[in-house]
Structure 1
Amino acid sequence: MMDPWDEAAAAAVERLRALVASASSARAEPVDRPDGTVAAAAGAREGLRSGIWPLDWVARAAAFDSAFPDDAGDLLLEALAAVVAPEAAPGLEEADEAALLALQPADWAAAVVHIVEVAPPVPVEAEALAAVAAEEAAAADDALDSDEVMLLEAGFGLVVPVLAALGALDADDRPTPVGAWLLPRGVALGLGTDLDEGDRANGWSGSAGAGEAE
């Protein structure tokens, strides 16, 4: 019998895979890393090294220490994956860490779909992400009580600033093209699946985006 977390993760990954496939189908071609990926990674790298919130705890969660992935896409993906499933203790306050770890695979998938498909050009807010996750839980006959919803809000309250720091959201917390590429892939990676395994093995397609260099 599959472990409940693994079963939930597998279902969430399939939803994220469908989201990526839908984006590719809409363009009638694979979705390459967008322009801005390298710039986003450069900003993220600086934040991860600085030890300044919110990327201080992400660096600890990813166990980067002083060694960061050289590739821009890998850096962003691995940082986000560590938010979903920390490789090491993030060093947050106990209540914050409990809220972060309370986010379930279905919550992550609901949030990503909302941000990528629904949110643009609306600013992303933790309360809205928690509401979407709670609505989907209720639709699946797993209604959350008010305390559980508040826990979701606290968890996503930690996540939203990280998404902005990784370039997935702009200065007004609206989704960016980098975010549309990063979110489904980074969350799936945190849930144990590399959606771009072939591309990563053979070198990124459109690796730096048009007009960009690593």
Structure 2
Amino acid sequence: MDFVCAHAGRPAPALTRRDVARALLAVPSGVALVALPDLRREMLAAGNPLSRAFWESAKAVLSSIEAGQATVGDVQRWLESTGTEPILMTPSYFVWPEEDERGPVATEMYDRLVAHLEERVAAGEIDPDALVTGDREARRAYEELQEQWLGTPLPDGRVPGFAVSDEQDEELFNAWDEEEAFALSELQRIMAELPKQPETPVEELEAAAARLRVLLALPGYPSNVLRACAGFEDRPLPDDDTELWLSVAAGIAGPISDLSEGGDVLEEFVDLEGELSQEDTVLANLCAIQHADWLAGVAALARMGPGVLASPERMARLIAESEDIDVDEHAEDDLDTTESLFASVVTLWGYLGVVDEDDVLTPLGWWGLPKALERAWSPPAE
């Protein structure tokens, strides 16, 4: 009892089913099973007996854990059936962060919801015994109650669900910015250490830019993807050849926008059994490549110079063998995944003249790829 009270931060008469369940799960299942009868008697003596259904469910779950039969989902569902544990993922797909990953806002909102659920249990609006015995109507009402709370503004105007999501988004963006800044600094260090700096291949750049202007004026793939990558869907092409080429090359490493919506885009999006279009597949592949993989691949090409093979398979190998990034031993399926992602990249590089028809790095690619990455990872000008 002392452990449960300390774990919950409450005296025995105020303990909830959730408090007891979380304490039981905080120790080895065998220890919890042995302690269960004594704990039940002590709770009864404290005037807080809980219910027979709860104690039977606790014994069943702990026995299942001890036997190695319980899944994480089984345990989570049991914890939620206490009536005051927030649902990990609601029917509308709101997901609470793991406890050790919650920021201040998520922690506050989680605690507020627990308190709200405790009030509803005390008011008789939640029946924990019905939840623990698997009553579907009780579960549905429990889910709806939480959905409603997550979408209802607090007195200070914040909507709990949005507040938690906004905090998670901010944390994600901050982590992304930090990763990007580190990758940029490493790229600049590597380029500064090259024994010979790439020179601008003026004639190749002018010819590539001319081809690119014609290509970007055409409908369909790959023009629509390249326009989206560079953010040219809603703005005119720059007059300067270098600016044009680097904008598109940088966009491949960091796409600026999605494809322009038109027709039945929404209908296609919600068709879960339908296949992605070629354009959507290519953009998805570009967005899935990590900063470290871009850094490792482009750094290797920069060191080796024009004439080196830059096929998707070769890029995957260069990344796996790179000493510029921390990587575990690449399994064959990891190499296959990287090769698949870079298949889209190398194809687009071909339209820019980064590689030739044999996927060999050109002088233009040697000069332009590091500059394109630097542009993609640099903060936007104020």
TM-score (norm 1): 0.74
Higher Rg:
2
1:150 and 2:336 correspond: yes
1:26 and 2:196 correspond: yes
Question: What is the match of residue 133 of structure 1?
Answer: 319
Helix, strand or coil at the partner of 2:297: helix
Helix, strand or coil at the partner of 1:87: coil
Deviation at 1:141? Answer: 4.5
| CA offset digits 1:103-157 (Å, max 9, x no partner) | 1111111111222222642331111112222333897254555444333212210
User: One-letter code of the match for 1:105?
Assistant: H
Kept in 1: contact 2:191–2:302 (CA 8 A): no
Q: Give, in whole Å, the separation in 2 of the partners of 1:164 and 1:49.
A: 17
Question: What is the match of residue 10 of structure 1?
Answer: 181
Helix, strand or coil at the partner of 2:345: helix
Note closer, same or farther for the CA distance 1:128–1:193 as it changes in structure 2 (3 Å cut): farther
Q: Relative CO higher for 1 or 2, CA cutoff 8 Å, sep ≥ 6?
A: 1
Q: Give, in whole Å, the separation in 1 of the partners of 2:324 and 2:330.
A: 7
Residues 1-214 of structure 1 mapped to structure 2, 5 A cutoff: 3-23=174-194, 26=196, 33-35=200-202, 36-51=204-219, 53-65=221-233, 67-90=236-259, 92-118=278-304, 120-136=306-322, 140-192=326-378
**Across the two proteins, how many residue pairs are aligned to each other?**
191
Q: Give, in whole Å, the separation in 1 of the partners of 2:180 and 2:336.
A: 22
Kept in 1: contact 2:312–2:339 (CA 8 A): yes
Provide the identity percentage. 30
Question: What is the match of residue 150 of structure 2?
Answer: none
119-128 or 66-75: which moved more? 119-128
Deviation at 1:179? Answer: 1.2
Note closer, same or farther for the CA distance 1:53–1:118 as it changes in structure 2 (3 Å cut): farther
Note closer, same or farther for the CA distance 1:53–1:96 as it changes in structure 2 (3 Å cut): closer
User: One-letter code of the match for 2:326?
Assistant: A
Q: CA RMSD in A?
A: 3.0
Q: Give, in whole Å, the separation in 1 of the partners of 2:302 and 2:323.
A: 19
Deviation at 1:61? Answer: 2.4
User: One-letter code of the match for 1:50?
Assistant: L
Deviation at 1:53? Answer: 3.5
Deviation at 1:7? Answer: 2.7
Deviation at 1:77? Answer: 0.8
Q: Give, in whole Å, the separation in 2 of the partners of 1:59 and 1:142.
A: 36
User: One-letter code of the match for 1:26?
Assistant: K
Q: Give, in whole Å, the separation in 2 of the partners of 1:144 and 1:93.
A: 28
Q: Give, in whole Å, the separation in 2 of the partners of 1:69 and 1:142.
A: 42
* Structure 2, gaps ≥5 residues long: 1-170, 260-276
Note closer, same or farther for the CA distance 1:134–1:172 as it changes in structure 2 (3 Å cut): same
